[in-house]
Structure 1
Amino acid sequence: MQDYLETIAAAAAAAAIALLLVEVVHRVIRRFGRGSLLMTELTEHAHRPFQVAGTVLAVQFAVRFTTGYAVGTPWRQVVLHALVLAVVAAVAWLVAALLVAIEDTALARFRVDVPNNRHARRVRTQVVLLRRLTIAVIVVLTVGVMLMTFPAVRGIGAGVLTSAGVVGVVAALAAQSLLGNVIAGLQLAFSDAVRLDDVVVVEGEWGRIEELTLSYVVVQIWDDRRLILPTSYFTSKPFQNWTRTEAAVLGTAEFEVDWAVPVQAMREELRRLVESTELWDGRVCVLQVTDATGGTITVRALVSAADAGSLWDLRCLVREHLVGWIRDHRPTALPRTRTEIGDASGALPWQWAQPRRPVRRLQEPEVPDDARVFGGSHDGDARSEAFVGPDEHADSRR
């Protein structure tokens, strides 16, 4: 009982001394490091793990030195082994905290709340993924070191190393998907294909990259839903990145109107609209007729905005305003279906009528040969050559 009390007293004294020294060091660093961002981050992140590591290490020394004469005591071996495991875990925690403090210091230099933040988002993505990878490596190494403190694990170490090749193949096959996602995450971080806060279109959904890890990517969709995809998706399938080079984008608004629409007046109305709103960035304002089939024509308005959100609102504003303008000022341009009722003897020029005299048909040699796309002219012959294979060329020469 006396040995136990002496060991407990020594451990308590060592823990108190360690806590006192850690607190003194913490206050000194915080006082003299006020002007340094790195020192500030160290005092915030590393204070608690430094306390735990120092205390456990001091208790281990106290137990080891106060029970040095009782080498064969069973409880001493158990306590010292537990303290060794605690020291390894505390040191790993301290190392991880130091690395996190350094990474936060590096991230503080790159702000993402500014308009031109493409480079900052790129660096932030890389640092965040490296942080996750670093912590994962530290955890794996810590568990490995802790397991090696057990004699049974050290005894089978040679056999494990001998069969490492077979185990590696089996593990690679079993974790193929996981390893593929990890490698894809690192590829995304350093290839600059996608970054945090990038606006993307994936699986028909429009949103922004909210979270990017080594195994999955979270896309915040415009209606606040979350689309979670494996990182390998962005390296194996095509997707749209609207902000890879810059945030400014173009958008369209299409209208199907009657042939009677005054295109120039509609173009001038579009210009007046975009010049009166702050959603337009002043780059592109174009209105063109892109199709004319059936009973309507398709008019496309192409406008630009500084970012995807402003573009969405601008496109909706263009549709709403031009629809109202056509309805109120050009009602004859509204889409309509024409139906004509008449007979074959109508006098209108577009109505069918029996020809009064037979039409003289051109003789066969006088028929112009312009009805073919791939022949009949030099341009058609050249176009036809592009679609003839080498074997067909050889046969034609024979």
Structure 2
Amino acid sequence: MVSFFRLLILCVTALFFTGAVAQDSSNAWYSAEVLNEGLGAAPDDLDLSTPRAAMRSFVEYARADRFDAAAHVLNLSRVEPERQPDRAVRVAQQLYQVIDRRVWVDWSDLPSRPDAKVEQSASEGSGPGEMRRDLGIKLFELNGRAYEIRIARYKAGEDSEPVWLFTPQTVADVAPLHDAYGPRAFEEYIPDRMKDQLGGLRIWEWLGLPIMLGLLIGIGWSVNSMVTMLARKAPYGFLQHAFARAGFPLALFAVAVLAQVVLSLAVSFSGPVTSIVQPLLVIVMASGVGMAALRIVDAILDRVTLRYVGDIDDTRSLDKRELYTSIYALRRVIVLFMVGFAAFYVLARLNLFQTVGMTLLASAGVLTVLLGIAGQAVLGNILASLQIALAKPVRIGDSVLFEGDWAYVESIFYTFMRLRTWDERRIIVPVRYFVSKPFENWSVKDARIMHTVRLRLDHSADSDVLRDRFVELAREDEGVIEHDQIACYVTDHNAQGVEISFYAMSPDPSTGWVTEMRLREGMLRFIRESHPEWWPQERVEGGATIAATQG
């Protein structure tokens, strides 16, 4: 019985390992009856055991103009054997030219293991990762279709070793990729000695890049000057201002477009240069168009503001102040829309989220948390700015009392507000800080404001006489409105004297402040000339001395 159970366990174990080995073998490579039978014998130094070795062999053979040897890194299974020798050399040459001009090979990212397993991090374990039998090198989007340079692992027959080759689909895609990204017409006139490699770039590239940069700067300066000159001849003032401000962004756009045309028709730089220049040109194009559009719209909105609103303060009507605030809100919406559109355009053109770098960036949790913490204040201020634009607890031109300072709301930007005090100082306040603190809005309904003049006088002061004089002064002052609101009350009393408060309504805070000063001066003059005995008296207990002091 024991022997029977041992035999059963051995059989089950053998079946399990046999299935596992078979499964591993089927997932480790693609089976093929024969590989490149029309090419003949491969070079002795050809190494196709790993993805890195296969790519290095292809690049080294191609740089040495040994395209017949580089052809052995291609899977020509879709090409008839008799056509393989001629076709393979041409495809190898075209594929190398595409890789050399459009692919920045990250050798450290190419696996050096035959099974292409990725080593896991310490947190994931010490062993290798999942086995792979094909790898993508570069994905292109051309005329609405996707083309990919890809290598895969193949095995022909039971006795041969698995090898890494460029896939048959890559071989088929080489022709359209070469037409789009291969050598340009100007390169035919470059001497062969200038095409040698030097420091990762060809010699002519070291000379051509500075020359091209200088020409583009000159063209950009010319475009900016031309736009500025045309702006002076515009029939309307706001168009002159708009195009004058849009000159520099339009120059950036023109330079980026011209550089794209040069790279598409005249010359084609190598992979490292293209990998940097192409994204940079896309970003410059999007930035140039976005900045030009924003500046033109901004100039138009400024013109509308000056024409229909004018200089804003609390003397303007509520409708005009709301219009001004709505214009600023419209600016913020337009800016957000343009920034979002430009970012979407750049991401779509560059396929950033399909690259290794952006994948690592998107998956970096620590970096994401740090960026979130760093951008919390900025995002909070932007949301608070939008909250003000929608709810309008304060409008541009409103008169506010904020932390002891009376000021006008001069501007509301994305992240901060600019307050203009009565003495022409500017207070810069973060938007989120402003909305989180209590403040007095003296213009929330209308600009009218009740100003108060307080005087501290002796007990002997006659409030009826003071009231009559204040009413007389207030009715004569042009800064006082609604004369039925004029009032005088005794608002406090203690051992030192009485406090008498005088009230008058003004049309707006700025007028009211000046009016308050005039009324105070008038009341002090009246007391000084007619009743000096009403000044506060400093009394000493026991009545020994009485000293009159002017308050």
Report the 3-state secondary structure (helix = DSSP H, G, I; strand = E; otherwise coil) of the residue aligned with 1:206. strand
Q: Relative to 1, partners in 2 of residues 1:14 and 1:211: Cα closer, same or farther, differing over 3 Å?
A: closer
1:93 aligns with 2:288: yes
Paired with 1:230 and 1:50, the residues of 2 have a C-alpha distance of: 32
Structure 2 CA distance, aligned partners of 1:302 and 1:240?
19
Q: Which runs of 5+ in 2 are unaligned?
A: 1-186, 191-203, 544-551
For residues 186 and 130 of structure 1, the distance between their equivalents in structure 2, rounded to whole angstroms, comes to 9
Q: SS at 1:253's partner residue? A: strand
Give the aligned partner of residue 461 of structure 2. Answer: 261
C-alpha spacing 1:205/1:180, structure 2 compared with 1 (3 Å) = same
In the alignment, what sits opposite 1:371? none
CA gap 1:230/1:27 in 2 versus in 1, 3 angstroms: closer
Partner residue, 2:409: 209
Give the 3-state SS of the residue equivalent to 1:109 in structure 2.
Answer: helix
2:429 matches 1:229: yes
For the residues of structure 2 that align with 1:275 and 1:126, how far apart are their CA atoms?
42
Instruction: Say if 1:251 and 1:302, in contact at 8 Å, map to a contact too.
Output: yes
* Aligned counterpart, 1:248: 448
Q: Where in structure 1 are there 5+ consecutive unaligned residues?
A: 343-398
The letter for the 2-side match of 1:101 is I
**Contact 2:231 2:244 (C-alpha < 8 Å) held by counterparts:** no
CA–CA distance in 2 between the matches of 1:95 and 1:154? 25
Q: Is the 8 A contact 1:250 1:305 kept in 2?
A: yes
2:321 aligned with 1:118: yes
Instruction: Give the length in aligned residue pairs.
Output: 332
Q: Does 1:178 align with 2:378?
A: yes
User: 1:273 and 2:473 equivalent?
Assistant: yes
2:356 maps to 155
Q: CA RMSD in A?
A: 4.4
Q: 2:500 aligns with which of 299, 317, 320?
A: 299
Paired amino acid for 1:305 = S
- Which residue number in structure 1 is paired with residue 523 of structure 2? 322
* Structure 2 CA distance for partners of 1:159 and 1:248, relative to 1, 3 Å: same
CA contact (8 A) 1:64 1:80 kept: no
Pairwise CA distance, 1:189: 2.2
The Cα offsets for residues 202-224 of structure 1, whole Å up to 9 and x where unpaired, read as 22222223443322223333444
SS for the counterpart of 2:355 is helix
Equivalent in the alignment of 1:64: 264
Distance in 2 separating the partners of 1:253 and 1:310: 15
Q: Residue by residue, what CA displacement relative to the aligned partner does 1:85-113 show, whole Å, maximum 9, x if unpaired?
A: 23431332222221331243234323242
Q: What is the CA-CA distance between 1:267 and the residue it aligns to?
A: 2.0
Larger radius of gyration: 2
Shift of 1:124: 3.6
Match of 1:382 in 2: none
- Tell me how far 1:319 sits from its aligned partner: 1.7
Cα deviation 1:304-338 (Å, max 9, x = unaligned): 22222222222222222112212221234333367
Q: CA-to-partner distance for each residue in 1:21-74, whole Å, 9 max, x for gaps?
A: 99999999997x73695x556533434433432343234323422236xxxx63
The one-letter code sitting in structure 2 at the alignment partner of 1:216 is F
Partners of 1:17 and 1:295 in 2: CA distance: 81
Change beyond 3 A, Cα 1:198–1:140? farther
Amino acid paired to 2:290: V
TM-score under structure 1 length normalisation: 0.66
Letter aligned with residue 46 of structure 1: A
Which letter does structure 1 place at the counterpart of 2:325? Answer: R
- Corresponding residue of 1:288: 489
CA contact (8 A) 1:118 1:245 kept: no
Say whether residues 1:108 and 2:306 are aligned partners. Answer: no
8 Å CA contact 1:286, 1:302 repeated in 2: yes
Distance across 1 between alignment mates of 2:461 and 2:219: 89
Deviation at 1:293, TM superposition (A): 4.3
Q: Distance in 1 between matches of 2:345 and 2:517?
A: 56
